[in-house]
Structure 1
Amino acid sequence: MSTKQQALFIIFGGTGDLAKRKLYPALFALYQKGIINEHFAVIGTARRPWTDQHFQAVVCESLPEQDTTAAKKFAAHFYYQSHNVNDTEHYVTLKKLAQKLDKKYQIGGNRLFYLAMSPRFFGTIAQHLKSQEIVTADGYNRVIIEKPFGHDYQSAAELNQSISKYFSEDDVFRIDHYLGKEMVQNILAIRFGNNIFNSLWNNRYIDNLQITLSESLGVEERAGYYETAGALRDMVQNHILQIVSLLTMKMPTTYSEADIRREKICALKALKVYQPQEVAENFVRAQYQAANGLKGYRQEDQIASDSQTETFVAGKLKVASENFAGVPIYIRTGKRLRQKATRIDVIFKPVPGNIFADQNLADNILTIKVEPEGKVSLQVNVKKIGQGYQLQEQQLDLSPENRNGQQIAEAYEKLLLDALAGDATNFTHWEEVAYSWKFVDAIRQAWDNSQQPLVEYPCGSMGPKQADELLAIDHRHWIY
């Protein structure tokens, strides 16, 4: 996949925060590596009346190396069009510019449309791309879509239908940037590339799984969106359930997009969808409160003083599959927690016959640390150095070695390269989205119909005590 690519990128929402923080630096990284070089161009569209020169200056400012010759040569491939997504005439102008750049840079008709704006515009954009013939007949036409993909199953299905009228499923790339993270991609390598784990990855040997996605920041500038979404829709429906699918899917027949996708869909389909009473027993929702000099959620700008939006979710998931029946999966995510961290803990069952009867053996725990550092470790029991035979726990470092010292690519860089190559393995299929929403909708509806108020947790903690009690009831505890 390191071969040179040629494509015209059309970014709807080209003046937005996502484009500046993630997309332009990711494209520049591909440019520096020679993956995109002379035969590419980028059209940024938005409502602002910018010129090409101003747009190119903004692109340069978004790059880690702003004033280099390479940055300026890269930015020279960027063009801007002020655009109203509802105005058909603007698509006529866009088509003319696209054709001009395709010819100038000898791109060959390959087009990648990135919809970095509100989902309510997705259907309108898709329709106009087809009706105004901005899609080409002599190259590929791929659409990359950002989350949120709907706010429940029904809206997601309507959104999907509005796009699928004009683009086939094979040409739609629903991005979840967690699937581009190096250590998330390592889950399948660890599971299926090592018999020591592959043979033990089932309910005979695994006691429970724990997934933590903690954030130290509050809602910041996303308050308007977050108030309508909450932690359940913002983090569980996509990032966490994608990780769950990678942890619980069966081994695919081959490492291929079709086989991996099939097994991920089966894994999400196997999640037990809870009844309202089961939601109350298996899920906790909470909201951060002022502490340690930090404001509570309801004191944040643009947040209602009586808001019932959850900023923290903890839950116990059950999987109705042959390999994972009876293995609880504990998840939690929240804002204003102690620190930013994403980690997975796989806790194995204790040794069936302990010959060290007078000693308590520590659990064997495989830990995959996704953020802030990419690291894998395995907790084992070893003998203490010295006389006697006392055991102690010790960590075996299984960190992937960066042998040639190359910098690990950012998630968006990897995912953009996958999209250029037409590889959707690390993107989400519509059926994955559908089963995720069905699972989450049952929880959301139970909460909406419940009179039970949100619980609270102080800023800087790891969430409310009820999240600890969720495990304590099963005689377990959070590893992290």
Structure 2
Amino acid sequence: MKTGKTLPAAITIFGAKGDLTKRKLIPALYNLYTDKHLPPVFVIYCVDFLPEDETAFKLDLLAGINEFSRNGKANEKEWEGFAKNIFYLQGDFLKTETYTGLKGKLDAFGKKQKQNGSRIFYFAVAPRFIEIIAEGLYKHTICNRDGLDRIVVEKPFGTDLDTAKKLNRFLTKRFAEKQIYRIDHYLGKEAVQNIMAFRFANYVFEPLWNKKYIDHVQISVAEEVGVGKRGGYYEGSGALRDMVQNHLLQLLCIVAMDSPEFYQSELIRDAKVKVLKDIRPYTPAQVLKNVIRGQYTAGNVHGVPRLPYRKEEHVLSASNTETFVAARLFIDNDRWKGVPFFLRTGKSMPVQSSVIVVQFKDSPHKIFKDDITPNRLIISIQPELEISLLFESKVPGLKMKLKPVEMDFTYQESYTETIPEAYEALLLDVLDGNPTLFMRADQVEAAWKVVMPILDTWKKYPAKELHLYKAGTWGPTAATALLKPYAKDWFRLSAREDSIK
């Protein structure tokens, strides 16, 4: 399906030799190109500090497509058509000539097309370069047309509320808010986008979507991987900053938000900000009661030995950095007051999975003695893209005997279309000037306000209540105790399958 956008597009990637460019950005742009979603006329300028032969650079990008693209190996003819529009520019982000050289290339491209086109600047760089590159673009008037020029900034967006506010002020003094696309790749996932369609296009669920009928909500993102070679970064981040402040809180917003009046970007983002502002702030004592932090020790993941976090590369031997967080949050508004939202994320866990579980309250008047399994709506983001509703049904036979069964929707069975990667959807939205799936400045700051009491408490009590768990397990037992009395354990897809056999 074509987008209908025909303006020329000049895409600049800062940090072109990094993993993000090779594994995600170029494969995504290539797939957009082969599916006829890119404008007919486009150019991709790849900027990085290191000298590089352009032919060798393109071959490395091709290897990235062949390894990481959802469509497998690139077609030779399509690759040639795509690659002729890629140019490598060696440039130090700290030096003026990098920006004057880039400006010359962009201006020449624009003059050749004889019409104004869009300019996209992707910051695939370490956070310390964000302000430096932004200043270079601003000072040299390279990104000054607020209707056509856009910057894309990867997380982490600040390290706390103060740094996030500072960065927002810095960027909004140089660019219009509508030019700034703060990207969270989780929001581009097909299953995440479908939550909104599921909620607001199927009115049958709306009367049930509130404190009267919903007992609690679980949002769980488990990662098999440890920190690997990211120990240096992770020591200054931890799971709360790395996952909860952005990914998990964004999922919570989509589940909990009120319906906007229209499907319009600012109305949707307004609704998400309102949810964040309504989350109950915690005192230090409430943090210690409602938030569990953990750190993995030595163990096995799929039978492969895993080092303890404190022995990973670039990690302090006495580190208290959390690799696991479980939290019980409350949204103090008319729809959700009193309903707990349980969030959990961790590294070195048994499987890679992202799942949202909406558990409904029990019937106030049970007439069957074996009516013991609560109704659940299960939204699986990974590994399977699936939405299922768990309900009780009579087992065929002469006696009234109940058994939980599922009504399933799976992408694989329902659609023949291939599912685009998150970065494809997000990059296309940037090209189209659609900010719906991107975080606004006030949304970023509201999310930081939710986690700041937790960060402040942990800073004040650095060694208090750090729960250890073996790599390859589901985290500390204290995280399970957090669920009581609402549930006995965290929902797991594997356990779900056992319960309905």
TM-score (norm 2): 0.92
Out of 368, 375, 380, the residue aligned to residue 369 of structure 1 is 380
Of the three residues 31, 34, 37, the one matched with 1:32 is 34
Amino acid at match of 2:100: V
Runs of 5+ consecutive residues of structure 2 not aligned to the other structure: 67-72, 493-501
What letter corresponds to residue 61 of structure 1 in structure 2? Answer: A
Alignment-mate amino acid for residue 371 of structure 2? N
Q: CA deviation at 1:477?
A: 3.1
1:390 to 381, 395, 401: 401
Alignment of 1:259-270 (within 5 A): 259-270=267-278
Alignment-derived partner of residue 426 in structure 2: 415
Equivalent residue, structure 1, for 2:499: none
> Which residue, out of 315, 320, 335, partners 2:327?
315
Letter of the 2:244 counterpart: V
Q: Quote how far apart the aligned CAs of 1:101 are.
A: 2.8
Distance 1:401 1:216, change over 3 A: closer
CA distance 1:188–1:139, change in 2 (3 Å): closer
| 1:380 aligned partner | 391
Is the counterpart of residue 352 in structure 1 residue 364 in structure 2?
A: yes
- Partners in 2 of 1:118 and 1:31 — Cα distance? 27
Q: How many correspondences in the alignment?
A: 479
Contact 1:180 1:414 survives alignment (8 Å): yes
1:2 is aligned to 3
Is 1:235 the counterpart of 2:251? The answer is: no
C-alpha distance in structure 1 between counterparts of 2:258 and 2:341, whole Å: 16
**Letter matched to residue 109 of structure 2:** L
Post-superposition Cα deviations, 1:22-57, rounded to whole Å, max 9, x if no partner, equal 000000011001122540001111101123323222
- 1:420 is paired with a residue whose SS is helix
Q: 1:396 to 1:117 in 2, by over 3 A?
A: same
Residues in 2 aligned to 1:159 and 1:476: alpha-carbon distance in whole angstroms: 42
Instruction: Tell me the distance in 2 between the aligned counterparts of 1:154 and 1:203.
Output: 34
Counterpart code for 2:317 = S
In 1: Cα distance, 2:485 partner to 2:468 partner: 20
Cα offsets for 1:314-355 (capped at 9, x unmatched):
010011111000000011000000100000000000111112
Structure 1 residue 185 corresponds to structure 2 residue 187: no
Where does residue 288 of structure 2 map in the other structure? 280
Distance across 2 between alignment mates of 1:82 and 1:107? 27
Separation (CA, whole Å) in 2 of partners of 1:56 and 1:309: 39
Contact kept in structure 2, 1:109 and 1:139, CA below 8 Å: no
Is contact 2:189-2:421 (8 Å) kept? yes
- Contact 1:111/1:139, CA 8 A, preserved across alignment: no
Q: Tell me how far 1:400 sits from its aligned partner.
A: 4.5
Task: Give 3-state SS (helix, strand or coil) of 1:317's partner.
Answer: strand
**Other structure's SS at 2:205 match:** helix
1:10-409 equivalences in 2 (<5 Å): 10-36=12-38, 38-64=40-66, 65-66=73-74, 68-104=76-112, 108-135=116-143, 137=145, 140-292=148-300, 293-356=305-368, 358-400=369-411, 405-409=416-420
Partner of 1:386, secondary structure, is coil
Q: Is the partner of 1:418 in helix, strand or coil?
A: helix
Structure-1 separation of matches of 2:3 and 2:454: 43
- How far 1:231 moved relative to its partner? 0.3
So what's the TM-score if we normalise by structure 1? 0.96
Whether contact under 8 Å (2:288, 2:465) holds in the other structure is no
Helix, strand or coil at the partner of 1:247: helix
Within 1, Cα distance between the matches of 2:386 and 2:117? 41
Residue 446 in structure 1 maps to residue 454 in structure 2? no
Give me the whole-angstrom Cα distance separating, in 2, the residues matched to 1:110 and 1:192: 32
Structure 1 vs Structure 2: percent identity of aligned residues? 39
What residue identity is the alignment partner of 2:22?
K
Moved more, 138-147 or 205-214: 138-147
Q: 1:81 to 1:93 in 2, by over 3 A?
A: same
Residues 110 and 117, structure 2, Cα contact 8 Å, conserved in 1:
yes
Q: Hey, what does 2:470 align to over in structure 1?
A: 458
Q: C-alpha displacement at 1:104, in angstroms?
A: 4.3
One-letter code of the match for 1:407?
Answer: T
For residues 406 and 143 of structure 2, what CA distance do their matches in structure 1 show?
A: 53
Residue 154 of structure 1, CA deviation: 0.3
Q: Contact between 2:215 and 2:339, CA under 8 Å: does it hold in 1?
A: yes
**Residue aligned with 1:439, SS:** helix
Q: CA RMSD in A?
A: 1.7
Q: CA deviation at 1:123?
A: 1.9
Q: Is the 8 A contact 1:59 1:75 kept in 2?
A: no
